[in-house]
Amino acid sequence: MLLPVRTKFRKMHRGRMRGMATRGAELSFGEFGLQAMECSLVTDRQIEAARLSLVSAIHKKGKMWIRIFPDKPITKKPAETRMGSGKGDVDHWAAVIKPGRILFEMSGITEEEARRVTRLASFKLPVRTRFLSRGS
């Protein structure tokens, strides 16, 4: 699973997910991409599941880039614990996704193949997505 090697602080505030993505909103590496259409937290497991579906579909024909990284710690308190006694321990890591953010990019495959592959990957993610190509 993806997680940062080290962080300055162990726990983080949840924050607010408002507005459009200002960074990472344009294709930079590949010809085709998968773009988020709504706000969400995408966990490290969801990113890995989408990555596996992309890799298995692309095989060794094309190249793929992951444009998101889970750097926000999500905490959770144990089951059947009384209220209070501080914030819970880190349970998993997530990436904050805003509308317009490019999640994955790929190149070296045809457009029909890229559409089929991104559709498979989008089933693994909790956000509505759309297909992007360099021409459009």
CB burial of 37-53 (b: ≥16 within 10 Å; e: otherwise) equals: eebbbbbbebbeebbeb
Give the predicted TM-score (pTM) of the model.
0.91
Query: Which pLDDT belongs to residue 136?
Result: 67
Q: What is the mean pLDDT of residues 120-133?
A: 95
Share of the chain above pLDDT 70, in %: 99
Instruction: Please determine, for residue 112, whether its predicted confidence score (pLDDT) is greater than 90.
Output: yes
List pLDDT tens digits, range 20-59: 999 999 999 999 999 999 999 999 999 999 999 999 988 8
Fold of 30-74+85-131: Aldehyde Oxidoreductase; domain 3 (3.90.1170)
Boundaries of every domain in the chain: 30-74+85-131
